[in-house]
Every structure is written in structure tokens, then in C-alpha cells.
Amino acid sequence: MMKTAFLAFLETRINQLLKLDPVTIEALRSLDGSVIHFNCLQPEFQCYVFLDALGVRCAGWHEGSVDVTFQGGASSFIELSADRVSAWDSIKGLNVSGDPEVIAALESAHRKMELDWESLICERIGPVAGHTLVEGMRLIASTFVGAGESLSAQGAVYLQDELKVIPSEPELSAFSREVDALRGSVEHLDERLNKS
């Protein structure tokens, strides 16, 4: 029942988002009747997405044939949802198989997708609060992106500086050999002193 509940929730959200992008709805309408199978290998999870004129329908069971199968780990599905520029076959760990025409149409729709998520927020909480929230989210996101870029740049400088003072591997090996030789000489001297 948990899976059924999750899929019901997912279906509602996907259809809400699709309503914000008439171009994608039109593209999916041309695929009316297609069945897409999502097979996540790790963690194990399967679901079927049915495309029709009214949007998408998600189901945990399907006994007929499928048009396209997406198979891979959770990380590859996350990459698929985040990366709308790269070709699907370049996404590591993701295997897309099935009807080439449907795959091409889906890939094209995925690339052109422009979901107006701001209007969804504004619809829910009102235009003033919605835009304020969206601006806040943008500010937080840009702060994180800036902090990430700064950390990355400063990290590179730090590593370059550190490289100047950190001894290289051959220097460490030579130093280690010298320490061994000194220890051997000290032991040898100690033996001679004990004898005399």
C-alpha cells in the first residue's frame, strides 16, 4: 500500500507540473498509449508510467508490453532528472531500451521541457508571497553556488601552496633511507662500545 500511495502522490505532482508546460503536454500527447517502465536496480523499485491525452498515470503493476524501459541505479535516475542537455546514452549506469521512435520523442520532450514551477508556488500561496519565496530560494541557491565556486577556486590555490612545502615522494624515500642508515650506524657503534 505504501508503494501505491507513493505512486498516487507522484502521479498528482507530475500532472500538476505538466500542466505548467503546454509544450511538453503536446509532445506527450503524440505518445498517447505508450507505456514506460522505470526499473531502479539500487534501491530496487519498479513502476510503470502510462502516457495518455490527460497526462500521465503511474502504476506499480502492468501485465502488458512496454514501449521503453529505463534501467539503472538511483544515481543515474537523479542524473537523468537533473541533466537535460546530455544525451541519455552518455549518462553513466543508465540503460534505455525499447522502441527507438518513442525514445527519440521522449528525449526531445525531456530536453525542451520548461516547467514553470514558480507559477505553481504562486498559485498555492499567492503572487506576493510566492514571488518573495522564489526570490529567497534563488538567493539561497546563488549563495550556495557562489560558495561552492569560491571553495573550489580557493581549494586549488591552497593545494598549490601546500604542494610547495610538502616533500615529494622521492624526497621522503631518500629521507627514510638516510634515517635507516643512521639507525644502523648507531646500533653498530653501540655494539662496539659494549664490546670495549
Partner 1 sequence: MTDKVRDQDKTHFGYKDVKPDDKEKLVAGVFHSVADSYDAMNDLMSMGVHRLWKRFTIELSAVRKGHQVLDIAGGTGDLTKQFSRLVGDTGRVVLADINDSMLRVGRDRLIDQGIVGNVEYVQANAECLPFPENTFDCITIAFGLRNVTDKAEALRSMCRVLKPGGRLLILEFSKTNNPLLTKAYDAYSFSLLPAMGKLVAGDSESYRYLAESIRKHPDQATLEAMMKEAGFVNTTYHNMTGGIVALHKGIKP
Contacts of 72 (CB under 8 A, 6+ apart): 39, 40, 41, 80, 91, 93, 94, 95
Query: Quick one: 1 or 128, whose CB is closer to partner 1?
Result: 1
Toward partner 1, which CB reaches closer, 29 or 177?
29
Q: Which of 23, 54, 159, 172 binds partner 1 (CB under 8 A)?
A: 54
Binding mask 58-77 for partner 1 (x = CB under 8 A): -xxxxxx-------------
CA 124 – CA 121 distance, rounded (Å): 5
If one asks whether residue 5 binds partner 1 (CB under 8 A), the answer comes out as yes
Cα(38)–Cα(132) distance, integer angstroms: 36
170 binds partner 1 (CB under 8 A): no
- Contact in structure between 60 and 40 (CB atoms under 8 Å): no
Q: For the CB of residue 102, give the shortest distance to partner 1 in the complex, in Å.
A: 17
Position 48, amino acid: Y
Cα–chain-centroid distance for residue 26? 27
Q: Euclidean distance between the first and final Cα of the chain, in Å?
A: 89
Minimal distance in Å, beta carbon 4 to partner 1?
5
**Binding window for partner 1 (CB under 8 A); candidates: 57-65, 103-111, 132-140, 188-196:** 57-65
Part of the chain binding partner 1 (CB under 8 A), chosen from 49-57, 112-120, 123-131, 139-147: 49-57
Rounded to whole angstroms, the Cα distance separating 31 from 134 reads 33
Is residue 8 a contact residue for partner 1 (CB under 8 A)? yes
4 touches partner 1 (CB under 8 A): yes
Between 67 and 118, CB nearer to partner 1: 67
Strand pairing report for 95-98 and 45-52? unpaired
Task: Please work out the total of residues on this chain that contact partner 1, with binding judged by CB under 8 A.
Answer: 14
> Side chain identity at 119, as an amino acid letter?
S
C-alpha cell at 31: 505518445
Binding site for partner 1 (CB under 8 A): 1, 4-5, 8, 33, 52, 54, 57, 59-64
